[in-house]
Chain A
Amino acid sequence: MRIARSVRALAAVAAVGLVVSACGGGGLDEPAASDSAPAESAAASEPAAGGDAEGGADASGGTIKVGFVSPMTGPLAGFGEPDQWIVDTMGAWFAANPIEAGGKSYNVEIILKDSQSDAKRAGEVAGELINQDGVDVVMAHGTPDTTNPVADQCEANATPCITSDAPWQPYYLGRQADPANPEPFTYTYHFFWGLEDVSAVYQDMWSQLDTNKKVGGLFPNDPDGQAWAGAFPDMVSANGYTINDPGLYQNGSQDFSAQISAYKSNGDEILTGVPIPPDFTTFWTQAKQQGLTPKIATIGKALLFPASMEALGDIGQNLGTEVWWTPNYPFSSSLTGMSAAELAQGYMDASGKQWTQPIGFSEALFEVLQAAIQAAGGPDKEAVASALSTLKVDTVVGPLDWTAGPVPNVSKTPLTGGQWRMTDGGEFPWELVIVSNSLAPEVPLGGSVEALK
């Protein structure tokens, strides 16, 4: 079956070149159409599927329009990849189960837009959603490059905004005019974890092995790398760890000999960082070539998706990363009642692909949406924003509570740590085993930390 699929893919690639060239200038038009799939409107609302027709007590309140900005193409597309499925699933759910709020019943129309992994584009489509499509609420997820410009648009246009999948520091502090004196936002709300969580999880993982507490830091010169490199040394010093940071490198670097020399000469036994996947592969391959052998490596961003592990190959065994969500998280959806495992299985059945962590968070956005509209008694923008500021809801990614801090507008989700292990003839070649739950004891452990070979 694999071969059949690859033959088809091969034929398609071969055809691409020939078709494009054979058709000359005119041939460009057709494939280009597939490029622009930004405005895909999911037909969520067969008019009044539930509601007044059979609802009896409730009067129809009309349709709530929701804009959903997701990086579906470009370098961040891994985050947005499940979103078409999520939107279809949620659309079907709301069609059968309209939101009941303030004694009325509301249909939901979801408008999915592609940010193309570009911060500027993300802001533009958020503006279109608000000003042209007239949405009541905007949602977005997938790194600060998506969440921040969308949230800024919403704040400027007084439209409620729910976002996720970006550590809260770059989201909250990164959008402040003066990060030293942060001021709360009125319309924009976020749920995820922060750098204090990821550094605590990593230290818990490091402490499970006997090391010299010297940590090599691989931090790129991008918003994530700057935030991590700035925060980590102080966050780990209390436990006796020291970070050896040779300096922030540029994304796309093709040679990491200098860093490898620096870690070797300092005798670092622990490795951490937040590189993009291709850079980490370049680094880790060179590290193996040049005899760098840390006992443990905990890496953010690069090891998020199973596809990255497949690409890394054998040398990925026991690499560690932070874990936001897995099918083993003991939570279920406040919307559909599905458990984390059922949600992940639903995606795998529909796509044939392994589950990824953003799936839970994409679904949770819709849970927050319904909870906020119900708490507000309807889609009035001021009321929804005000409801979000004190909202509490138990979602498939964990209990959310916007009154608990760490800052206004942000609710934290439970973070754990995991190591990637090759499966022995399983359905997928890699599995993420949870090895640290010190911050979230309710999440079951799958094993303990194993040293790199």
Chain B
Amino acid sequence: MQWLNAVIQGVLLGGLYALLAAGLSLMFGVMRIVNLAHGVLAMVAAYLGFIFVNNMGVPWYLAILIVVPIMALVGYALQWGLFNRALSKGGLAPLLVAFGLAVVLTQLLQEIFTADNRRIQIGELGTASIQITDSIYLGWFPIITFIVAVLIIAGVQLFLNRTPLGRAMRAASDDPDTVKLMGIDNRRVYALSTALALATVGLAGMFIGMKTQFSPTYGDLVLIFAFEAVIIGGLGSLWGTLAGGIVLGVAQAVGSQINPSYGLLIGNLVFLAILAFRPQGLFPKAVTT
């Protein structure tokens, strides 16, 4: 029963990893940008949520509706002002820009909010759970996180597959030069893609901020899990990212059940095994096909 519990808790945790990784996957899928500032941008969203929920008393679900559009705007501006210029300077430039952005944002958050640990208060919901069997309890908050992750990933995938803008994003990913010939401004498409990616980051940051305490540097700690989820699932594939998140969550939870010191280790080993034996990931390149 303990093992079953570990698997179930791992699946729920995987939802959070997938939610955090979705934006990373999207930016890589469309623009081939490895966004090292992803973790700290999630923290920016968490601090925004903290301001609305804890200081202004906005309910958390309404705060999400405010934070996500703000992050989307930030994403648009970032792509337009920073990454688009960097992209024209070759492959390494966007990576360096993202790294610099991460450093700057981390320090700015500390300057504004200090290094004190914060958490977005959600009251009773944080600890509420339903009992399934004698030894298996499911927390409502992890369940909500998981459902939101699945809905978001399904929604973004549908958007990419079914809408003209989604098609433009996939086209810009496949062949930027031809897209320009078709009269589409790929810089604008990129900016909208990053806006979409940061909207998901906004959501992920809010959920991280509600799950546990965060500080300006906490984003770096969870960024590694998002990267692993993306690689396990297959670069640029959203459904793969969901699968990758779940595989990683289950590997960590089951590993901890064997021995707590193996938890993160086994997650990392699964990640290494995928890199070694199936470097394209479980579901490669679904964004662009």
Contact = CB atoms under 8 A, between A and B. Distances in A.
Interface string B95-107: 0010011011101
Interface in B216-273: 217-218, 221-222, 225, 249, 252-253, 256-257, 259-265
A349 B213 CA distance: 27
B114 A257 contact: no
B139 A289 contact: yes
A37 to B, nearest CB: 9
A10 B48 CA distance: 7
Contact of A252 (B13, B77, B111, B221): B221
Nearest to A306: B116
A2 B55 contact: yes
Given A9-B112, A252-B264, A313-B119, A17 B80 contact: no
Interface stretch (A21-29, A49-57, A166-174, A370-378): A21-29
Given A74-B115, A81-B115, A258 B263 contact: yes
Interface string A245-269: 0111111111111110100110000
B178 interface: no
A285 B108 CA distance: 29
A248 B261 contact: yes
Interface stretch (B27-35, B125-133, B153-161, B277-285): B125-133
Contacts of A18: 74, 77
Contact of B116 (A13, A248, A305): A305
A311 interface: yes
A164 interface: no
Nearest to A280: B213
Contact of A24 (B73, B81, B217, B260): B81
Interface string B107-150: 11111111111110101001111010001011101100000000
B222 A17 contact: no
Contacts of B5: 257, 261
A314 B121 CA distance: 9
Contacts of A24: 81-82, 85
Given A31-B108, A281-B119, A258 B253 contact: yes
A307 B114 CA distance: 10
B115 A34 contact: no
A75 B78 contact: no
A73 B108 CA distance: 11
A175 B101 CA distance: 37
B75 to A, nearest CB: 9
Nearest to A2: B55
A218 to B, nearest CB: 9
A290 interface: yes
B111 A34 contact: yes
A28 B260 CA distance: 41
Nearest to A286: B139
A346 interface: no
B253 A12 contact: no
B214 interface: yes
Interface residues of A, number: 69
Interface string B4-16: 0110011001001
B51 interface: yes
B181 interface: no
Contact of B115 (A75, A265, A315): A75
A244 to B, nearest CB: 12
A256 B82 CA distance: 40
Interface string B28-63: 000000000000000010011001000110000000
Given A10-B51, A13-B112, A255 B119 contact: no
A28 B78 CA distance: 12
B215 interface: yes
B77 to A, nearest CB: 4
B289 interface: no
A279 B101 CA distance: 26
Given A10-B48, A18-B74, A248 B16 contact: no
B115 A258 contact: no
A16 B256 contact: no
A20 interface: yes
A38 B233 CA distance: 41
B55 A285 contact: no
Nearest to B209: A311
Contacts of A264: 135
Contacts of B225: 254
A277 B213 contact: yes
A252 B218 CA distance: 9
Given A286-B139, A289-B129, A20 B82 contact: yes
Contact of B212 (A22, A76, A285, A315): A285
Contacts of A5: 55
Nearest to B252: A255
Given A13-B44, A249-B261, A77 B110 contact: yes
Given A21-B78, A28-B100, A247-B259, 4 more contacts: A28-B101, A252-B222, A258-B2, A313-B126
Interface of B: 2, 5-6, 9-10, 13, 16, 44, 47-48, 51, 55-56, 70, 73-74, 77-82, 85-86, 97, 100-101, 103-105, 107-119, 121, 123, 126-129, 131, 135, 137-139, 141-142, 211-215, 217-218, 221-222, 225, 249, 252-253, 256-257, 259-265
Top 5 nearest A-B pairs by Cβ distance? Answer: A77-B115, A21-B81, A307-B116, A289-B139, A6-B55
